[in-house]
Structure 1
Amino acid sequence: MDEKTEQLRDIFMDVADGETVTETQQDAHGSLATDEGSVDAQLQSVLERLHGKFDLQSSLEDDQLCQLVRAFYAGEDDDAIAGSIGCTSEAVFRTRMDLHLVRDDEVPNEELETAIRAEDPEFDGDVPVDRLAAEFDADRNRIERAAAAVAAVDRSRRVSQRFRTAFEEVLTDADLSVQFTAEAHEDGLEDATEGAEVGVEL
C-alpha cells in the first residue's frame, strides 16, 4: 500500500469514526427532545382544569383542541386552523373565546367596549346586538365578536390569566427543549469532525 493510499484510508477511518460518534451523541441528546404526545398530554391537563372551572363547551375533540392551541400560538388565523383540524372558522373563534385565546386586534376600541359593558355590570357576553350595530354603524357579526372577546378577556382576568399562562409555559418549554436538542446535535457534529480534515495531494 503506497503513501497516498494509506492517507486515503486514514481519512476514511476518521470520517467513519466521526459518524459513529455523531450517531451515538444524537441518540443520547435525542432523548431530551420533547415528545409530541407529552406536550399534548400537558395541554390536555390545562384544558381539563379550564373545563372544571368554566364548564368548557365545545364540539371539538381533545386532539383538535390541542391542535387549535398549538396553531393559535404559532400565529395561524382561524381559517387556517379550521382547515387543519376539520371544522368551521366560526367554531374555531368560539372555541378560542372559551379557551381565553383572544387576539389583541379582537378587543374592541374603548368606546365600543364601554357600550358593551354598560348593558350589564356583570357582563356575560349578551348584548342588544341590533341596537349597538346601529349605534356604531357596524354589522351584527362585528358586535357579536367584540362582545365575545370582551367576555373572554373578563373570564381570563378573573383567574389572573392562569390558563393562558399555562398554555404558554407548556409550549415555551417544548420549544426550548427542541432548541436545546438541536444545539446539542450541532455540538456533537463539531466534536466528531474536529481534527478529521487531512490535507491530501492527489
Structure 2
Amino acid sequence: MDEKTAELRDIFIETTGSETVTERQTESRGSLADVDDPEEVRARVLDLVTTMRDRYEFETDCADDDLVNLVVGYFDGESDEELALELDVPPETVRTARLDLHLVRDADREAPFDMDRLDKLLVEGADDDAIAERLDEPLEIVAQFRPVAEADIRSSRVNYRFRDDFAELLTDDDLSQRMAEDARNDGLREATEDIETDVSL
C-alpha cells in the first residue's frame, strides 16, 4: 500500500468508522501479461470496461467499443485531442470517459492547491461550496479538479485494480501500437464509407 492509499484509508476509517475500504480481489483468469493476440486483448479490455460500467455510474454515454479504443489509445500515448478526433467527440468527453475508467493523467492533477487536501475533503463528504471555501479557490476550479480526485479515490478503493489490469494488458508497446493503428484505421474506414467519389480516368 503506497503512502497516498494509506492516508486515504486512514481518512476513510476516521470518517466512517469502518475498515472496509477495499474489495477482495477475485482470482484472475490467467496472466494478463501473457496475452499477445490483439483480439484476445481487446476482448479482455472490453470485459473490464463492461465490469466497470456495471459497477460505476459512467458520466458519458460513449459506446463500449469507443471506450475500448480510448483505453488502447491512452496506453499508446495518445492525447485527449487525438482520441477526440478518432472517436468524433469533444476532448472534454474523452477526459470524462478517461476518469470514468480510472485513467488519470499526471497533468490532470496539476492543481493550484495540494490535491491531497481535496481528497480529504471529498472523503469527509464536503460539497463544492465548502471545498471552495476551505481551499480558497473559485467554484470553477473545484469543479475542474473534483472529478480527478473522485476518480483517484474510486481507483484507490479497489487497489487500482482496473487501471493496473488495463496497464498489464496494454504495456507491450508493439501490441498497443498495433491495436491503436487498427482502431484508427477502423475509424477512418467508417468515416469514409459514405463518401461518394466521382473519378474520371
Q: Which band: TM-score by shorter chain?
A: 0.5 to 0.7
Q: Which residue in the other structure is 1:97 paired with?
A: 99
Match of 2:109 among 107, 110, 118: 107
Q: Secondary structure at the match of 2:144?
A: helix
Is the contact made by 2:121 and 2:131 (CA closer than 8 Å) also made in structure 1?
no
Letter matched to residue 154 of structure 1: I
Is the contact made by 1:129 and 1:143 (CA closer than 8 Å) also made in structure 2?
no
Q: Which residue in the other structure is 1:58 paired with?
A: 60
Which 5+ residue runs of structure 1 have no aligned equivalent? 1-32, 180-202
Count, aligned residues: 144
Is the contact made by 1:156 and 1:162 (CA closer than 8 Å) also made in structure 2?
yes
Please tell me whether residue 161 in structure 1 is matched to residue 163 in structure 2.
no
Letter matched to residue 50 of structure 2: E
Is the contact made by 2:58 and 2:100 (CA closer than 8 Å) also made in structure 1?
yes
Deviations 1:73-110 (A, max 9, x none): 12211111101111111111111111000011212458
Q: Which residue in the other structure is 2:136 paired with?
A: 135
For 1:160 and 1:152, the matched residues in 2 are separated by: 12
Q: Which residue in the other structure is 1:151 paired with?
A: 150
The answer to which of 155-164 and 142-151 deviates more is 142-151
Letter matched to residue 135 of structure 1: D
Assess, with a 3 A threshold, how the Cα gap between structure 1 residues 133 and 79 changes in structure 2: closer, same or farther.
farther
For 1:56 and 1:145, the matched residues in 2 are separated by: 17
Assess, with a 3 A threshold, how the Cα gap between structure 1 residues 129 and 90 changes in structure 2: closer, same or farther.
farther
Structure with greater helix share of residues: 1
Is the contact made by 2:76 and 2:177 (CA closer than 8 Å) also made in structure 1?
no
Q: CA deviation at 1:128?
A: 2.5
Assess, with a 3 A threshold, how the Cα gap between structure 1 residues 35 and 146 changes in structure 2: closer, same or farther.
same
Q: Which residue in the other structure is 1:21 paired with?
A: none
TM, length-normalised to structure 2: 0.59
Please tell me whether residue 68 in structure 1 is matched to residue 70 in structure 2.
yes
State the identity as a percent. 28
For 1:79 and 1:178, the matched residues in 2 are separated by: 18
For 1:158 and 1:114, the matched residues in 2 are separated by: 15
Assess, with a 3 A threshold, how the Cα gap between structure 1 residues 132 and 54 changes in structure 2: closer, same or farther.
same
Is the contact made by 1:132 and 1:143 (CA closer than 8 Å) also made in structure 2?
no
Is the contact made by 1:56 and 1:98 (CA closer than 8 Å) also made in structure 2?
yes
TM, length-normalised to structure 1: 0.59
1 or 2 for the larger relative contact order (CA 8 Å, sep ≥6)?
A: 1
**RMSD across aligned C-alpha pairs, in angstroms?**
3.4
